[in-house]
Structure formats: C-alpha cells, structure tokens
Structure 1
Amino acid sequence: MKAKYINPYTDFGFKKIFGEEASKPLLIDFLNALLPEQHKITDLTFKNTEQLGLTDLDRKAIYDIYCENDKGEKFIVELQKAKQNYFKERTVYYSTFPIREQAEKGNWNYNLKAVYCIGILDFTFDDHDSSPNQNDVVHSIKLKNQHNKVFYEKLHFIYLEMPNFAKQEYELQTRLDKWLYFIKHLEDFQQIPTIFNDEIFKEAFNKAELANLGQTELDKYESSLKVYRDLKGVIDTAFDEGKLEGKLEIARKLLKSPLSDEEIASYTGLTVEQIRLLKADK
C-alpha cells in the first residue's frame, strides 16, 4: 500500500515536522510532553544548527534541530537513524557547544543556562547496566555524585529508544505516549486515528501528508528516504562494532550513497582520512 504520510525517521521528514518555523508549535508541544512540568516552554527560537569549535583543530558539530527558549535555555534535538560507534560520546561532545557559546567577554560569573540534549533513536542501546528495565523507552540522564544526588541540574540528556515503544492506540495515556505513537507509526497511517483529535496533531498530519508537498519537496523527500533505507539496511545487517574490517565494509557500501565523507565517518567510527582513502581505492 502506498504511503500517505512521510517517514519521520528521514532527515527531510523529521525537519519538516519539527524543524521549520511553521512547525514551532509542534516542537514546543513535543518538548513539553517530554520535559517535567517546571521546565514548560512557552516560546522557542531556532538557532544555527551548524556549530564551529573555538580553534581550527576543533571539529564541527551539525545538529538536526537547535533552538532556545524564552529563558535562554538551549535544546538540541537529534534523530539517530542507526547505531554507530561512540554515539553517547557524540551527544556529550555536542552539548559542549551550547555551553561554550554562553561565555561572555570581560568579567563573567559563569552562570550558565540549562542545556538539553534529546536523542530520538531508531535502535536500542547495547548496554543496560544502569537500567533495571531493558525495555525502557525514555532514558533521562543527569550528572550525579557517588550518593546518587544530582550534582549539576543544568545539563540533561534524554534518549528515546523508539523500538522499545510497544503501546497500542488504546493504551495511550499521556501526551508523550501520543507523540511517540505518532512518530513510530506515521508512515503506516492511511487516515488520522481518532485519538489525534486536537489542532496540534491535525497540523502535524497536515505537514506530513505527501499530497501537500510540492514536486521539489517530494524529490528531496525521496532522496532522503533512499538514504534512510540504504543506511538502515547496511548498518543493521553489517555493523560490527569491534572489528575494523566490519567498519570498512560498511563504509564501502555507504560510499555508494549521497552521504558525505564526514557523515560516513560518523556512522562507522572511521576517520575522514580513512574514508577518503577507501574512496580513492575504488
């Protein structure tokens, strides 16, 4: 059956639903469903998703969505389509950019605004040593001391393991449940389920409907969908975290996709130089 709605796990689909200026009410609603009540967002400003380090030696970070609320708190929202090496390290690294950009010239008291790094994962973590329930969907992480007391309250990492979300429509209770159900099953819907009966979700379905896209957007979506399917197919079947040859094999296959050298390096854990050598050896 032909899809009626876009796949939200594609770069195009995710940014169409949450990353455009007109999508701001949707993103605010989603974040408010995810965050505690005391952190409720009333307004957001989209910021440049490309961040550069302080020196030429620093690597560049490119976020899916980067925004700031009316209190100056920063939000990075990342869609991660496939498992990759050092994913946790990558999100920690990303968090350093919105922290460092708050530095002020001259006398400054180091009073920082909160930073939230949110990852929507189309895979599950390999290790669950810190979790009593391996089927958790939401992982909320803060910096704590040896007594399990929060040491610093302004740095939050929230990961959503989408494969673990197994609720059916009749089981949905919270606003977050509805958003997770929407994201996970959007591409399969042929009509809007009755549970999505408010204006926010009606707008989300309207933005996601393929019939509402112009030809240029449809072409971009088809290209994004192909990358998503190729990437998932290659990494899900060939990912071998501990072996160099496994990484090289993945890289060779991804060289046939529109992904950049930097993106292939990120997904495989190889260096950009290694990717370029592979390309030259083809």
Structure 2
Amino acid sequence: MRPLFADPKTDFVFKKIFGSEEHKPLLMALLNDLLELDAAHRLVSVELLSPEQRPRVPELKHSIVDVKCVDAQGTRYVVEMQVLNVEGFEKRVVYNVAKAYSGQLDAGQQYPDLNDVIGVTICDFELWPQREEPRVPMLSRWRMQEQHGGARGLGQLQLVFLELPKYDASRPPRTTIEKWAFFFREASNLRVVPEALAEEPFTDALEVARVARFTDEEWEAYVRAGIALQDERGALSLARREGQEEGRGDGLRTAIRRVLSRRGVALDAGEDARLAACADLGTLERWLDQALTAATAAEALR
C-alpha cells in the first residue's frame, strides 16, 4: 500500500517541494525560518539557479540533495539535505559554500561584485553528538568571530545546520523549527495531517508530498530515488563492515575493490598496486567514499 505522503528527505521529493518554480514560496518559508529572519528581513523573492551555476562536487549522488537560489539583494543560498554521514562531510559543506562564493566571478569582474553565500544543511544524523560538550542545539548557525574580543566579522560565508535526530519526539512540536524537523522526519509515516502541521507552510509542503497527486512517472521516479538511496546506504554499510571484520587496512582495500567491481569500474595494474601499497587508514577511508561515485579508478584513488 502506498503511503499518504512521500519522504521529503529523498532526492525527488525534496526537489519537488523546494526546488521548483511552482513551489518557491515553500523554499522561502524554509529559509526564513531556519535563518530566523524577522519580519523586516524575511525573503520575499528568490531566483532558482540553473544547474550550470551549481558548483560540481564529487559526492554521493542520492544521499546529498541540493537546491541553490539567489535573493533580490544578491545573497546566494545553498540548501542541502544530507542523509548519510560520510567522511569529510563538514569539509565538503564548507567547500561547497566557498565554491559557490568564488564561482560568482566571471572574467572582468572584481571582488566587490561578490555577494554573500549562506549554506543551509539539513542532516539526518547528529553532526555534533549531544553527549559531547559544549552541546550544539538542533538548529545551529555559524559564522566567523574574532577570538579575543568575540567581535563578529567576515560574514560573507555563513553556515546553518538542522540536525534532525536532535528533535525531541517525546512531545508534539511547538516551535516553527521543531515543526520543520517533525515534517522532515515523520512525513512519510503520517496517515493524517497532524494538528501541529495543520497550518501554512506545512500544509502546502504536505500537499506537494501527497502521493495521490503524483503521476505514474513521478511515483516511479520516487521509488527509484528511494532504491538508489538504500543502495548507497547498503554499499557504505557493507564496505565499512568488511573493513572492520577483515582488519582495518586489508578490509578497506578489499571493500574498495569490491565497490569498484560492483559498479563496473576496473583497476589497472598500477592502480591496484597503489591501492595495495597504501597503509594510511585516512586515505583508504577517503578512497572508499570516492569509490561509491567515481567514474574511473583514477578518480576513486586521487
């Protein structure tokens, strides 16, 4: 039996809700709430950036979903849904935001032409575990700060994170941020619209995710996206388990070879020898993550 609502964390549904011209008000509502903008500074219009304007970053194709837009003042937003916690995730987020910042300059343009970039990342895992001190809240906002006096400056790059597992599921959501977390976490499990989400923009987001509104082609795309995500999750889990069972270094090398083989990517003799000779566990971990999406063995072992 089909669910009432599709999972907004999947590639197809996230982009259907937040990445289409038709539903731009939902993207603005999400940004306004996660950026905690007051009435005087709330976004009233955004322009979705075309794929050609999006920085290309080698990454898992289905567990990292992004939508990019620019507001009337020129500020750019990189909105991402991250389902799997892969090695180097924080560095990838910073790189992606920095790339969006530096990528604004075309030939003949000058540094004053650069506009601010804000990265908004929704994580389906704890990036900063609650058991660690100092505790980072479910919604956290990051920007540069002078370390002696605490003055804030250099605000051209800002990062915002919403960590879904930190939502307190023991009670109904109260704040707008809690309602967004509840929406992302529970939408696919709902059988009715709950009272907590019976208001805009959540009712509108749920309507877009309502499976009954999907065409047959959209339903097939949703199913394929879900299968692809599960394949990535399973491949990463299997590879790491093999690495643990067979001895860290040997297991990682075996996992890299198996992932590449299953994806039809062949290692030549030199590449295989390079893999066999590598004893640095950090490098092997990085190669394993890259092996999941690399088009060639050379890309996986760079």
For normalisation by structure 1, the TM-score amounts to 0.79
Stretch moving more, 207-216 or 112-121 = 112-121
| In 1: Cα distance, 2:210 partner to 2:256 partner | 33
Work out the number of aligned pairs and report it: 266
* Aligned residue number for residue 199 of structure 2: 198
Q: How does 1:168-207 map to 2 (within 5 A)?
A: 168=170, 170=172, 172-207=173-208
| In 1: Cα distance, 2:193 partner to 2:104 partner | 42
| In 1: Cα distance, 2:6 partner to 2:263 partner | 20
Q: Tell me the amino acid that sits aligned with residue 226 of structure 2.
A: L
* Aligned residue number for residue 43 of structure 1: 45
Q: Deviations over 1:164-193 (max 9, x none)?
A: 1124553x2222221111111001001101
Question: Per-residue deviation at 1:231?
Answer: 2.4
Question: Per-residue deviation at 1:227?
Answer: 1.4
Question: Per-residue deviation at 1:109?
Answer: 5.3
Distance of aligned partners of 1:43 and 1:275 in 2 relative to their CA distance in 1, 3 Å threshold: closer
| In 2: Cα distance, 1:169 partner to 1:112 partner | 44
The answer (yes or no) to whether the contact 2:105–2:113 under 8 Å persists in 1 is no
Question: Per-residue deviation at 1:237?
Answer: 6.1
* Aligned residue number for residue 144 of structure 1: 145
Stretch moving more, 159-168 or 41-50 = 159-168
Q: Tell me the amino acid that sits aligned with residue 42 of structure 1.
A: V
Identical aligned residues as a percent: 24
Which among 90, 93, 96 is matched to residue 92 of structure 2? Answer: 90
Q: Does 1:117 pair with 2:119? A: yes
| In 1: Cα distance, 2:165 partner to 2:293 partner | 33
Distance of aligned partners of 1:267 and 1:79 in 2 relative to their CA distance in 1, 3 Å threshold: farther
Q: Does 1:246 pair with 2:252? A: yes
| In 2: Cα distance, 1:251 partner to 1:139 partner | 38
Which among 149, 154, 157 is matched to residue 155 of structure 1? Answer: 157
Q: How does 1:221-236 map to 2 (within 5 A)?
A: 221-236=222-237
* Aligned residue number for residue 69 of structure 1: 71
Structure 1 vs Structure 2 CA RMSD: 3.6
Q: Tell me the amino acid that sits aligned with residue 164 of structure 2.
A: M
Q: What SS does the aligned partner of 1:152 have? A: coil
Structure 2: segments with no counterpart, 5+ residues: 265-284
Question: Per-residue deviation at 1:234?
Answer: 3.9
Q: What SS does the aligned partner of 1:144 have? A: coil
The answer (yes or no) to whether the contact 1:9–1:79 under 8 Å persists in 2 is yes
Distance of aligned partners of 1:270 and 1:195 in 2 relative to their CA distance in 1, 3 Å threshold: closer
Larger strand percent: 1
Distance of aligned partners of 1:276 and 1:218 in 2 relative to their CA distance in 1, 3 Å threshold: same
Question: Per-residue deviation at 1:272?
Answer: 8.3
| In 2: Cα distance, 1:102 partner to 1:73 partner | 11
Q: Deviations over 1:5-40 (max 9, x none)?
A: 111121111111111111211111111111132552
* Aligned residue number for residue 13 of structure 1: 13
Question: Per-residue deviation at 1:110?
Answer: 2.2
| In 1: Cα distance, 2:297 partner to 2:233 partner | 24
For normalisation by structure 2, the TM-score amounts to 0.74
Distance of aligned partners of 1:167 and 1:6 in 2 relative to their CA distance in 1, 3 Å threshold: same
| In 1: Cα distance, 2:225 partner to 2:96 partner | 23
The answer (yes or no) to whether the contact 2:128–2:135 under 8 Å persists in 1 is no
* Aligned residue number for residue 261 of structure 1: none
Q: Deviations over 1:67-110 (max 9, x none)?
A: 00111100001111101111111111111232123336547352
Structure 1: segments with no counterpart, 5+ residues: 259-264
Return the index of the structure with the highest Cα Rg: 2
| In 1: Cα distance, 2:86 partner to 2:168 partner | 23
